[in-house]
Amino acid sequence: MPGQLRPISAFKRRCDEDWIVPQVGQDDPFVDEEGLYPSVVVPKYTLGENLVIIYKAEIISAEQPGNDDFKPEYMGFNQEVRNRFVVIRKSKSYYNESSLVTDNSPDGFYPTLILPKSLIGKEVILIR
């Protein structure tokens, strides 16, 4: 049916806080200076595509005051996958919301999405 979401593929990623270096001469709306950014690394075949990012958020329910004022709802937005230079050794990787791990991947260009800081350590669903 027209207007329905029919994903080609969907996968999950945990949002980490990666050290990203801006590319000289590239116009990146999310990375303007070197530093830590909440991001996810995605497969290379998605480079240049717009992915839909879906996540759970705490939403205030005004319709039923006093009865579950805060309840989890799914939110989402889309973003183009860009190639960014990531310094992995300075990154904070999360297995779950309370434990940090270190990543020994080499520094370099990775296809990434930049996410809101509130999603650091949380899982998001990405849809092509």
Is there a domain that residue 2 lies in? no
The rounded mean pLDDT for the chain is 82
Tens-digit pLDDT profile for residues 37-86:
999 999 999 999 999 999 887 766 666 656 556 666 778 899 999 999 99
| 3-state SS track over 27-87 | CCCCCCCCEEEEEEECCHHHCCCEEEEEEEEEEECCCCCCCCCEEEEEEEEEEECEEEEEE
Range of the domain at 32: 10-127
pLDDT at 4 over 60: no
- Per-residue CA distances from 32 to 20, 29, 60 (Å): 10, 7, 33
Residue 73: its pLDDT value, please?
77
Is there a domain that residue 3 lies in? no
Q: Assign residue 97 a region: left if phi > 0, alpha if psi is -120 to 50, beta otherwise?
A: alpha
Q: Measuring CA to CA, which residue among 20, 25, 38 is closest to residue 85?
A: 20
Is there a domain that residue 33 lies in? yes
Is there a domain that residue 60 lies in? yes
Is there a domain that residue 5 lies in? no
Is there a domain that residue 118 lies in? yes
Is there a domain that residue 1 lies in? no
Question: Structurally, how many domains does the chain consist of?
Answer: 1
Bridge partners (DSSP) of residue 36 are 19
